[in-house]
Amino acid sequence: MPVRIEKAFQVQQPIDKVWGLLSDPRNVAGCVPGAQITEAVDDRTFKGSVSVKVGPSVTNYKGDVHFERLDAAAHEMELVGRGQDVKGRGSASMKMTGRLRSLPDGGTEVETVAEVNVVGILAQFGGRVIHDVSDIMFGEFTKRFEQQLQQTAAPPAAAVAAEPAAAAPPAPEPEPVNAPAIFLKALRAAVARFFRRLFGGSH
């Protein structure tokens, strides 16, 4: 059940800075709601999991994210994430492409396209909601990415480490991951609140 979603937004940040974040695998992965990076296979491939909660229904996917393309010159990237339901009832994949355009005012336009494909029992019984759910999740992804761009203070990778129960990824590159514990706590709470709001208790 393939779904295609396009989102574009503008930020008051120079294109190179934006590209720095968009081309940072852990950062991008960290912006996917419910996602956890559990292991870095190489600097372009990561193992991880995504938890998708729709009302009373929760599905946990385990799989990997791979950056198919990182074109610094063109400011274009493409990543493919694939995961299988841990209960063996299907799989989900997402191909995401991102393209940056610098704006006359020095800002940057971020264009992203996600092609989500769900296979298995969710695609059989959840057909009527898959589009809306994908749209909401991808919307949240872009929102978080924007937030990352705003908060220059904390290095983006923090978000990755901040994910609940995420094993700290073996840093593939020198840049150390050390954000103050207090910040992590705050972010955790924020994420938890967000999920309650987004998918929380219904009878």
Partner 1 sequence: MIAKTSPEIGGLGHSVKRKEDLRLIQGKGTFVDDVRLPEMVYGQVVRSPFAHARIKNVNIENAMALPGVLAVITGKDLEKAGLAWMPTLFHDKQMVLAVDKVLFQAQEVAFVVAEDRYTAADAAELVEVDYEELPVLVDPHRATDPDAPILREDREEKTNHIFHWEVGDRKATDQALEQSPVKARVDAVFQRCHPAPLETCGCVADFNTATGRLTVWLTSQAPHAHRTLFAIVGGIPENNIRVISPDIGGGFGNKVPIYPGYVCAVVASLKLGRPVKWIETRSENLQSTGFARDYHMTAEIGADRDGTVKTLRVKTLADHGAFNAAAQPSKFPAGLFSVCTGSYDFKKAFCEVDGVYTNKAPGGIAYRCSFRVTEAAYLIERAMDVLALQLKVDPAELRLKNFIPSDRFPYQSPLGWNYDSGDYAAAMNRALEIAGYKELRKEQAEKRAKGELMGIGISSFTEIVGAGPAHTFDIAGIKMFDSCEIRVHPTGKAIARFGTKSQGQGHETAFGQIVAQELGIPVADITVEEGDTDTAPYGLGTYASRSTPTAGAAGAMAARKIRDKAKKIAAYLLEASEEDLEWEPGKFSVKGVPGRSKTIQEIAFAAYTNIPPGLEAGLEAVHYYDPPNLTFPFGTYIAVVDIDKGTGEIKTRRFIAVDDCGNIINPMIVEGQIHGGLTEGLGIAFMQLIDYDESGNVQGGNFMDYLVPTAVETPRWETGKTCTPSPHHPFGAKGVGESPNVGSPAAFVNAVVDALAHLGVTHIDMPVTPWKVWQILKQKGVVD
Partner 2 sequence: MIPPPFEYARPTTISDAIALLQQHGEDAKVLSGGQSLIPMMKLRLARPAFLIDINSIQGLAGIHEEGGYLKIGGLVREADIESSELIRSKYPAIHDTARVIADPLVRSLATAGGNLAHGDPANDHPATMLALGAEVVATGPNGVRVIPIDSFFVSIFTTALEPAEILTEIRIPIPPPNSGGAYFKLERKVGDFATAGVAAQITVDGNGACQRVGIGLTNVGPTPLRAKKAEESLRGKKLDSAAISQAAELTAGESQPSSDLRGPAEYKRGMVKELTRRALTRALERARG
Please report how many Cα atoms fall inside a 13 Å half-sphere around the Cα of residue 149, on the Cβ side: 24
Instruction: Give the angle 107-95-112 at the CA atoms, nearest 5°.
Output: 20
If the CB atoms of residues 65 and 110 are measured against partner 1, the closer one turns out to be 65
Q: Does 87 bind partner 1 (CB under 8 A)?
A: yes
Name which of partner 1, partner 2, none residue 35 binds, using a CB cut-off of 5 to 8 Å depending on partner kind.
none
Q: Which of residues 119-138 bind partner 1 (CB under 8 A)?
A: 119-121, 123-125, 127
Binding test (CB under 8 A) with partner 1, winner from 33, 48, 63, 90: 90
Q: Does 89 bind partner 1 (CB under 8 A)?
A: yes
Q: Does 117 bind partner 1 (CB under 8 A)?
A: yes
Distance CA(202)–CA(53), nearest Å, equals 12
Q: DSSP assignment of 86-125, as one string?
A: TTSSEEEEEEEEEEEEE-TTS-EEEEEEEEEEEEEHHHHH
- Point out which residues bind partner 2 (CB under 8 A): 54-58, 87, 89, 121-122, 125-129, 131-133, 135-136, 196-203
Region near partner 1 per CB under 8 A, out of 38-46, 79-87, 155-163, 183-191: 79-87
Distance CA(33)–CA(74), nearest Å, equals 27
Name which of partner 1, partner 2, none residue 203 binds, using a CB cut-off of 5 to 8 Å depending on partner kind.
partner 2
DSSP 172: S
Distance CA(89)–CA(171), nearest Å, equals 33
Least distance CB 65 / partner 1 (angstroms) = 16
Least distance CB 30 / partner 2 (angstroms) = 22
Name which of partner 2, partner 1, none residue 38 binds, using a CB cut-off of 5 to 8 Å depending on partner kind.
none
- Please name which of 76, 102, 137, 75 lies closest in space to residue 11, comparing C-alpha atoms: 102
- What are the residues facing 193 on neighbouring strands? none
Least distance CB 197 / partner 2 (angstroms) = 6
Q: For residues 59 and 33, is the Cβ–Cβ distance under 8 A?
A: no
Binding site for partner 1 (CB under 8 A): 1-2, 84-85, 87-91, 117-121, 123-125, 127
